[in-house]
Chains A and B, each alone.
Chain A
Amino acid sequence: MISRNPQLNRAGELQHLLTTEGLPVAILLDILDTAESFVGVTERDVKKIPLLRGKSVFNLFFEPSTRTRTTFEIAAKRLSADVHNLNIAVSAQSKGETLLDTVNNLSAMYADMFVVRHLQSGAAHLIAHHVQSDIHVINAGDGRHAHPTQALLDMFTIRRYKRDFQNLRVAIVGDILHSRVARSEIHALTTLGVPEVRVIAPKTLLPAKVERLGVHVYYDMVKGLKDVDVVMMLRLQNERMQSANLPSSEEYFKNYGLTQEKLSLAKPDAIVMHPGPLNRGVEIDSAVADGKQSVILPQVTYGIAVRMAVMSILAGN
């Protein structure tokens, strides 16, 4: 038996957003196109539209996050939804409640949508499988697995600066192994037709058989950044610096930190992206992060429009 994509309903429409893997290109483009319409809402007198009036969105964050949680909250409020933030790392779960019990209780409070961040891969899938069919789940990051809205806002940013995806060379640099952002970006980029996606990292920070995702592997920034249109930097998790994967943050910066000098190997109009939070002087030099090729802050702004698009498409399906 062929099982249905758990993100799609019987009509093939988006029911949950769990991962960019396996999402049809038409749905990806629909999200990006819809987000275009939300960008202008921020510039009006009334920065709200009535689409999700009366709907309840629960932000379930089992792992700390500032930017992602805040932009989801702003997005839901701009759509006129009621937003409830649950910082579960310090509440029910610490009292021993299971994930699904928490979800059952919130469903009994008439939730319409769950935005889930969890340190375990597959948590959002589990919730999506469990809830009633009129509830929608958005994965806001699960373990090392996926972070689809981050990937979508990155795609939106790339399209805004580079117009389309068909002629691009994109490099993703850094800790690919632990990065749910990198996985979601790779799936989105290849689905949208980017002809050349590169990953640049030391061997110890690359997953086994990463080539199977359709990427070209480089161990060296000098070769890997040559003539690229987009440089997507990843955060090096400081908490992993102690592990055997890496010698030291100075050593890492020397080999894989993005400096103006290394950036000059890319195309002159290349853009620099980063999902945040930044480790200045570890994976990126301040001069680059604040430089004229950096689109790191526009990424954050577009994140609101993209999350509004995802929520409104889900709520309507």
Chain B
Amino acid sequence: MNTKKLQLPDAENLFADLANKIRPDINKNTALVGVRTGGVWLAQRLQQELGLMNPLGILDISFYRDDFDRIGLHPKVKPSEIPFQVTDSHIILVDDILYTGRTIRAAINELFDYGRPASIRLAILVDRGKRELPIAAQYVGAEVVLPSGKMLNLQQGGDKKLRLSIYDKQLPA
């Protein structure tokens, strides 16, 4: 397809920025929760980079999506794992791309079924705007404006390096 090449920021640079923005707010009670799949990669890297001791949480929000009635169950659903006490913990929720806000709505709902956290903050690698819900991130790697027909995707290579790519909404199956 002949689309004009969009200049995307380097994901590794964004990650370093994001980690630096989070660092001042970290204390021993901070717990990271990554949203599958890209958010988990980021959360694992942040866990290492920031030297966090609490175990890492993983959310698969498939059971909390608001489009179940339209598209059914996501075919490759995996278990959520929250290996710490959610009640009274200070959670930083981590995802790769923030767009409509619907994924984060689902993630917050799921977290509350594990307990009542003291606080939840949101860390995002790329915020591409166009929100459909009143949700905002406290830590953002970069803001990128894209046409709505484009999808932004984070990938992790075998060397654990992160890379952003863009594709048209109709993915080949």
Q: Which residues of A contact B (CB under 8 A)?
A: 13, 30, 33-34, 36-37, 39-40, 44-46, 48-51, 312-313, 315-317
Q: Are B114 and A37 in contact (CB under 8 A)?
A: no
Report Cα–Cα, A36/B78, bound state, in Å: 7
Distance (whole angstroms) from the CB of B125 to the closest CB of chain A? 25
- State whether the Cβ of B167 lies closer than 8 Å to any Cβ in chain A: no
Do B77 and A45 touch across chains, with their CB atoms under 8 A apart? Answer: no
A40–B113 touching, CB < 8 Å: no
**Residues of chain B contacted by A30 (CB below 8 angstroms):** 75
Assembly CA distance A40 to B72 (angstroms): 21
Which residue in chain A gives the minimum CB-CB distance to B69?
A: A316
Shortest Cβ distance from B104 into chain A, in angstroms? 16
B93-112 residues at the A interface, CB under 8 angstroms: 109-110, 112
Contact B79 A40 (CB under 8 A): yes
Query: In the complex, what residues of A have CB within 8 A of residue B113's CB?
Result: 44-46, 48-49
Chain B residues near A44 (CB, 8 Å)? 82, 113-114
CB distance from A52 to the nearest CB of B (A): 9
Please name the residue on chain B nearest to A79 by beta carbon.
B63
B interface list, Cβ under 8 A from A = 60, 62-64, 68, 71-73, 75-82, 86-87, 109-110, 112-115
In the complex, the answer to whether A45 meets B114 with C-beta atoms within 8 Å is yes
Contact, CB under 8 Å: B73 / A34: yes
Contact A37 B68 (CB under 8 A): no
Q: Which of B71, B73, B76, B109 has the most CB of A within 10 A?
A: B73
* Residues A37 and B60 in contact in the complex (CB < 8 Å), given A51-B68, A312-B73, A316-B73: yes
Question: A50 contacts which of B64, B86, B87, B114 (Cβ < 8 Å)?
Answer: B64
User: Assuming A37-B60, A37-B63, A50-B63, is B71 touching A316 (CB within 8 A)?
Assistant: yes
Asked if B80 contacts A317 (CB within 8 A), the reply is: no
Inter-chain contacts of B72 with A (CB < 8 A): 13, 313, 315-317
The answer for the CA separation of A122 and B111 in the assembled complex, in Å, is 43
Contact (Cβ within 8 A) A49 B64: yes
Least Cβ distance of A115 to chain B in Å? 18
Give the Cβ gap from A60 to chain B, nearest Cβ, in Å: 24
**Top-10 shortest CB links A-B:** A316-B72, A46-B113, A316-B73, A49-B63, A37-B79, A37-B77, A45-B115, A40-B79, A44-B114, A51-B63
Report Cα–Cα, A34/B60, bound state, in Å. 12
A33–B82 Cα gap in the complex (Å)?
19
Which A residues lie within 8 Å of B81 (CB)?
A: 40
Contacts of B78 in A (CB 8 A): 36-37
* Residues of chain B with a CB closer than 8 A to A50's CB: 63-64, 109
Residues of B within 8 A of A49 (CB): 63-64, 110, 113
CB distance from A317 to the nearest CB of B (A): 6
B residues near A34, Cβ cutoff 8 Å: 73, 77
CB-nearest residue of chain B to A51: B63
Interface contact B62-A37, CB-CB below 8 Å: yes
Q: Which B residues lie within 8 Å of A13 (CB)? A: 72
State in angstroms the CA–CA spacing of A37 and B77 once bound together: 7
Beyond known contacts A37-B78, A312-B73, A313-B73: 5 more, CB 8 A cutoff: A37-B63, A44-B113, A45-B87, A45-B115, A316-B73
